[in-house]
Amino acid sequence: MSTRWYPIYQRGNPQLRVFLPNFWMKLVHPPPKQLPNTVHFHCSMEMTKYDIRNYLEKIYNVPVIDVRTKIILGKFRKDLGKGYVVKDDDIKYAYVTLPKDTKFVFPDIFEKSKDADEEHLKSLEEAKKTFKNYIHRNKSRPDVPSWFSI
């Protein structure tokens, strides 16, 4: 009777309750052409369509009209350095349809992020400066390793 162990459901038994569900779901970016009331998820492999519906309705309070799922096989690829074959994890996709009038737009999270180039330049300047310092400090002792003095 542990937290993760439930009795087999047989007809007539009381409904099984999940008290501490361990399922995860992540909302992922939809492809460009997508109806506004459809949301794409990745979810735990063990989740059924009913689980997904209950999860969203009970925990997130999101009304769900329809759920479709599919499992995509992880890719087989060769490891870049070693050359052995690696298999990526399989992913369970869930396509959830919300009511007709609702509209979900995936937010643009990095929309107004700080200018990345500027930051890179800044760190580059910093690195240049420290390197200059290091060269200057070791002018008279060229063979001394960098860890020797502070």
- Which residues sit at the interface with other proteins, rule CB under 8 A? 1-5, 7-8, 17-22, 24-29, 39, 42, 54, 58-62, 104, 107, 109-110, 112-114
- Please report how close the Cβ of residue 148 comes to other proteins at its closest, in angstroms: 32
- Please report how close the Cβ of residue 50 comes to other proteins at its closest, in angstroms: 12
Instruction: Closer to other proteins by CB, 57 or 125: give it.
Output: 57
- Please report how close the Cβ of residue 58 comes to other proteins at its closest, in angstroms: 5
Angle, vertex CA 89, rays to CA 20 and CA 31, nearest 5? 90
| DSSP per-residue codes, 106-147 | ---TTTT---HHHHHHHHHHHHHHHHHHHHHHTTT-TT--TT
Instruction: Closer to other proteins by CB, 62 or 92: give it.
Output: 62
